[in-house]
Structure 1
Amino acid sequence: MAADYPLPKFHFQVDWGGAKIGFTEVSGLDVETEVIEYRHGASAEYFKTKQPGMQKFSNITLKRGTFQSDNEFYDWWKQTYFLQEGNSTGSKFRRDITISLLNENHEPVVVWKIKNAWPIKIQSTDLKADGNEIAIESMELVHEGLTIQND
């Protein structure tokens, strides 16, 4: 009977190679195939044929609350900066990330596996003197592939 209902999206976990922290939002789990259009000059048809081209992946955004003495987002981003400066070698700053949608028993039912992700943008919280919200920070990631497992 449980299979008759869509899954709620609020119970998930992210394994990102850092400390075990919770995220409030994950977005950008998109996969797209570019289209190649082709028509040769001697074709009897007056239209182009379409075929699949290269895969394209959206950037992934992770959001979480800001915690005192927790600088993991910035520290990871800083590793990519130092690589550009020539102070680091290899792909130490790339991480494989697993995002799991969980059922009521805290078991993964849909799993997104992201390959070779690294941060391109860190956004700190906005500050507002009369605000009544939690301080939220975000990190935008690029990556080299995404697979989806729906078991």
Structure 2
Amino acid sequence: MADDGSKQSTTVWPLPKFYFQVKWDSQVMSFQEVSGLDVQSEEIKYRHGDSPEFAVIKMPGMKKYGNVTMKKGVFKSDNKFWDWFNQIKMNTIKRVPVTISLLDEAGKPTMVWTLANAWPTKITGTDLKSEGNEVAIETIEIVHEGLTIANS
């Protein structure tokens, strides 16, 4: 009798990355690609003057979050990126939570990344080619003030 895989542990195979959902505030949006979910700790270098070691000590410093880039197809009368970007005034912009969920086969979240106080810093419209045969893609780059990860 062939093994149908039902007895395999859930830790045998890594999760595929192609089934995901993005929410801006409470609005669900479709994207082709999401990248830049990263955080790093900046290093602090220090050496006191009477240290017998001729090297610096490295200590963890402040956290630094990368910008998140999202790409999606261009649809007729869909200006959500531009509408949000055009709300930027002198040091004022509507900041929203952005939730990115990696989904399982049933469409339930398995890993959830939440961006705090996100706002757009850059929009790139599609390139245009008279001989092109691709879908028109636009890109938005989002800055945020923190990234949390939750597993379901």
Q: TM-score, normalised by structure 2?
A: 0.89
- Contact 1:17–1:97 (CA<8 Å) still a contact in 2? yes
- Contact 1:18–1:72 (CA<8 Å) still a contact in 2? no
Question: 2:49 pairs with 22, 27, 41, which one?
Answer: 41
The code of the aligned residue for 1:140 comes to: E
* Number of positions where the alignment pairs a residue of Structure 1 with one of Structure 2: 144
Question: 1:5 pairs with 7, 13, 20, which one?
Answer: 13
Compute the RMSD of aligned alpha carbons: 1.5
Q: More helix per residue: 1 or 2?
A: 1
Report the Cα distance in structure 1 between the residues aligned to 2:106 and 2:124, rounded to whole angstroms.
33
Report the Cα distance in structure 1 between the residues aligned to 2:61 and 2:28, rounded to whole angstroms.
38
- Contact 2:116–2:146 (CA<8 Å) still a contact in 1? yes
Alignment of 1:2-151 (within 5 A): 2-17=10-25, 19-80=27-88, 83-84=89-90, 91=93, 93-151=94-152
Higher-Rg structure is: 2
Structure 1, gaps ≥5 residues long:
none
Q: Deviations over 1:98-149 (max 9, x none)?
A: 1010111111111111011110111111111111111111101111111112
Q: Deviations over 1:28-52 (max 9, x none)?
A: 1010000001110111222211110
Segments of 4+ in structure 1 off by > 3 A? none
Structure 2, gaps ≥5 residues long:
1-8
Percent identity between matched residues is 53
